[in-house]
Amino acid sequence: MAKPKTPLLDELEKGPWPSFVKDIKQAAEKKPMARDLLGQLELSYQEKIGHWKHGGIVGVKGYGGGVIGRYSDRPDLFPGVEHFHTMRVNHPTGWFYTTEALRKVCDIWDKHGSGLTNMHGSTGDIILLGTKTENLQPCFDDLSEAGFDLGGSGSALRTPSACVGPGRCEWACIDSLDICYNLTMEFQDQVHRPMFPYKFKIKVSGCANDCVAAIARADFSIIGTWRGKIQIDQKEIQAYAASGLDIREEITGLCPTKCMSWDEKGKTLSIEDADCTRCMHCINQMPKALRQGKEKGASILVGGKAPILQGAQLSSLIIPFIKLESPYKELKELVLKIQDWWDENGKSRERLGELINRLGMRTFLKAVGLKPAPQMVKTPRANPYVFFWPEEIKKEGR
Amino acid sequence: MAKTDIGPPNYRNFMPPVMQKNYGQWKYHEILQPGLLRHVAESGDELYTVRAGSGRLLSTDHLREICEIADKYCGGYLRFTSRHNVEFLLTDRGKVDSLLAELKSKGYPVGGTGHSITSIVHTQGWVHCHTPATDASGPVKAVMDELYEYFVTMKLPSQLRIALACCLNMCGAVHCSDIAILGIHRTVPKPDHSRVPNVCEIPTTVAACPTGAIRPDPKAKSVVINEEKCMYCGNCYTVCPALPLADAENDGISIWVGGKVSNARTAPMFSKLVIPYLPNNPPRWPETVAAVKNIVEVYARNGRKHERMGEWINRVGWERFFQLTRLEFTDKHIDDFTLAPDTYRTTTQFKWG
């Protein structure tokens, strides 16, 4: 079969950044599917339009998700991509691999699919990009044999993800990797069999830097934090100052709560810890000199999402501080309680954050048994439309 | 029959021994040069991380090449970051330079640490999506070619995170990025009345619309779309392939800036609209590339050290941002969705520009 002519895509082989076109061409050397992908993509570049149809229901035995059906709308021109379904494979937490395991995935995908991947998809899964319907089950069987499993899709728990955490980072206040892995294993049924009003995402970040964007992207966001005093090594602070870091300008001057001061003469940093909101700025700049407080745990926030449907939302704080230790019983109970309430009350395609908006945070807190706290809001209510629970109102004749 | 519900492999078995040994016992780290991190554990053990950029769409042969490099320098261990970078993990400082040299010779950009631009998080676009308003990999490649120097250096005021989503469903969740490149449709789906009765289930199609813009047309056994209500999300096309949404002449790209995820200094922020529409101009999207580059350069000149894009804009004001970037301010920039009044200026305090 002749190589498709791709004058437009060839332009994207130029330049210093790694070229995806080179990767598709590399796969096209071996795979007719990749060759037709290249041809169809060139057509899209000519016509400025996509050429994929959404699939019907395709999948593997026993699962309701993990495969995204995709069909070409020009199978006449590109028969190799007539079906081109994606398999989402649950990544190893923290995206760690041995070359042995990664090669196994490559071999399986060369055998059953297009030889093209995304490392990784937006939610974190390994994306195996494009195969035929009849290859799905054999591919899954081989993946399972190699120790891999599918991730979530549709109205399911999507593959949870976590930052590198205690694997490498001194700022991990919680074992983000273990929490993520443990929840993933616990909730396998929720991942593989869509049963919710819409998608549900869990992301775990070890500190407020939030390297997995839990606050922006997860319905249930677990973000590490601490209580107590930031540990200061004055000698190391002095070393940073001596090496050219302007402590006043770059550290105390940028502290959002102005809870710290720098004594230029005595070369000492002092922190009013009660005023600190643990934003991480000073610690980020001076990791050798400043360490988080010793009592570590997490803040829990809920309801984050991208715009569809009612607009984007950030997650909102519902638990200021919780200690998280394996097997995370309290955490799992909370997740289930929240999902139950959402499942019971949510409309089709209504994310948790939107449901909380519709029914009110007070209703949510009551349903999941959390006590209101000033930490949960930026300001109290400014309008007079206050609702009281029936039991709070005196009834006549009682 | 294959085993189901086995979950992912246990990450612990995929960690290099130095990480297993010092798990949770890391003391501090430093950035030795762009793309090279040194982590030191309480035990005194050291870990060197070399971070290389990636196009995200990787062939299995490309992955095997990455594996060969990891075998040669890292004892067969590697990881990826949440932003598609690949990280080579070493304990032997002596091997770092030869690894860097090999990556350079093979065309892997090394960088993406500290005050740099790191790999662009993005979606599928024309490679694999059914509702894209633009391609994803193409614009990303074109933008990163132009901004390459900011990946391999750390000369920006702060980190700069760029993300691209090829339609407003935002699989890429670009809504909290320093710069977001977002594909937009601008015209309603066009029902193919000859095909709707055969390939679509009418009630499902009607129910698929988040804004209630679709109603049945029993006479034609098809549907009618209310142009006023439609927000071009493509959900109906997902369930009814006879409702094509794509419009080659009107689809395009919008640019949003000033979002952040991290809680450092300031709270996380959403990205805000600064360019409502740029045409799709494959293969290299020159208008989009120029627009992003302009914003990056204005920020690089004006932002103070450690100031993220949104923090800089909040300090100087949006009126100053539009003046400095010479971007036109239009009625599209003024919100008219649910929380719009929160964005109107309700004070006499403003700058002239």
SS (H, E, C) chain A: CCCCCCHHHHHHHCCCCCCHHHHHHHHHCCCHHHHHHHHHHHHHHHHCCCCEEECCCCCCCCCCCCEECEEECCCCCCHHHCECCEEEECCCHHHEEEHHHHHHHHHHHHHHCCCEEEECCCCCCEEEECCCHHHHHHHHHHHHHCCCCECCCCCCECCCEECCHHHCCCCCCCCHHHHHHHHHHHCHHHHHCCCCCCCECEEEECCCCCCCCHHHHCCEEEEEEEECCCEECHHHHHHHHHCCCCHHHHHHHHCCCCCEEEECCCCEEEECHHHCCCCCHHHHHCCCCEECCCEEEEEEEECCECCCCCCCECCEEEEEEECCCCCCHHHHHHHHHHHHHHHHHCCCCCCHHHHHHHHCHHHHHHHHCCCCCHHHCCCCCCCCCCCCCHHHCCCCCC
B349 near A CB under 8 A: no
In DSSP terms, B79 is beta-bridged to A96, B87
pTM above 0.90, yes or no: yes
B241 → chain A, closest CA residue: A53
A147 → chain B, closest CA residue: B9
Q: Do B79 and A164 make contact, defined as CB atoms within 8 angstroms?
A: yes
Spatial CB neighbours of A336, under 8 Å, sequence gap ≥ 6: none
A10/A260 Cα distance (integer angstroms): 55
Q: Residue A60's pLDDT band (boundaries 50, 70, 90)? A: very high
Rounded percentage of chain A residues whose pLDDT exceeds 90? 95
pLDDT of A55 higher than 80: no
Q: Which of A283, A165, A163, A288 is CA-nearest to residue A229? A: A283
- Min Cα separation B194/chain A (Å): 17
Q: Give the mean pLDDT of A114-127.
A: 97
B59 → chain A, closest CA residue: A116
B60/B66 Cα distance (integer angstroms): 10
Report pLDDT for B218.
93
Q: Do A170 and B262 make contact, defined as CB atoms within 8 angstroms?
A: no
pLDDT of A258 higher than 80: yes
Rounded percentage of chain B residues whose pLDDT exceeds 70? 100
pLDDT of A331 higher than 80: yes
pLDDT of A397 higher than 80: no
Report pLDDT for A310.
84
Residue with more model confidence, A131 or B168: A131
B133/B225 Cα distance (integer angstroms): 19
Q: Residue A156's pLDDT band (boundaries 50, 70, 90)? A: very high
B339 → chain A, closest CA residue: A311
Q: Do A106 and B60 make contact, defined as CB atoms within 8 angstroms?
A: yes
**What letters, b where the CB count within 10 A reaches 16 and e where it falls short, cover A33-57?**
bbbbbbbbbbbbbeebbbbbbbbee
Q: Give the mean pLDDT of B91-120.
A: 98
Which tokens hold the place of B55? 């196009």
Q: Do B58 and A119 make contact, defined as CB atoms within 8 angstroms?
A: yes
Q: Residue B169's pLDDT band (boundaries 50, 70, 90)? A: confident
Spatial CB neighbours of A89, under 8 Å, sequence gap ≥ 6: A105, A125, A126, A127, A128, A143, A148, A149, A150, A151
Q: Do B59 and A314 make contact, defined as CB atoms within 8 angstroms?
A: no
Report pLDDT for A1.
57
User: What number of helices (H) and strands (E) belong to chain B?
Assistant: 10, 12
Q: Residue B31's pLDDT band (boundaries 50, 70, 90)? A: very high
pLDDT of A90 higher than 60: yes
Tell me, what amino acid is at A242? A
Report pLDDT for B239.
83
- Report the residue of B6, B43, B47, B58 to disrupt the A interface, i.e. the one with the largest count of A CBs within 10 Å: B58
Report pLDDT for B124.
96
pLDDT of A2 higher than 80: no
Q: Give the mean pLDDT of B220-248.
A: 91
Q: Spell out which residues of chain B touch residue A358, defining contact as CB-CB under 8 Å.
A: none
Q: Do A27 and B5 make contact, defined as CB atoms within 8 angstroms?
A: no
Q: Do B261 and A116 make contact, defined as CB atoms within 8 angstroms?
A: no
- Report the residue of B3, B6, B11, B67 to disrupt the A interface, i.e. the one with the largest count of A CBs within 10 Å: B11
Q: Give the mean pLDDT of B150-176.
A: 94
B21/A232 Cα distance (integer angstroms): 26
Q: Residue A53's pLDDT band (boundaries 50, 70, 90)? A: confident
Q: Spell out which residues of chain A touch residue B201, defining contact as CB-CB under 8 Å.
A: none
Q: Do A122 and B121 make contact, defined as CB atoms within 8 angstroms?
A: yes
pLDDT of A398 higher than 70: no
A84 → chain B, closest CA residue: B128
CB atoms within 10 A of CB A352: 28
Report pLDDT for A307.
87
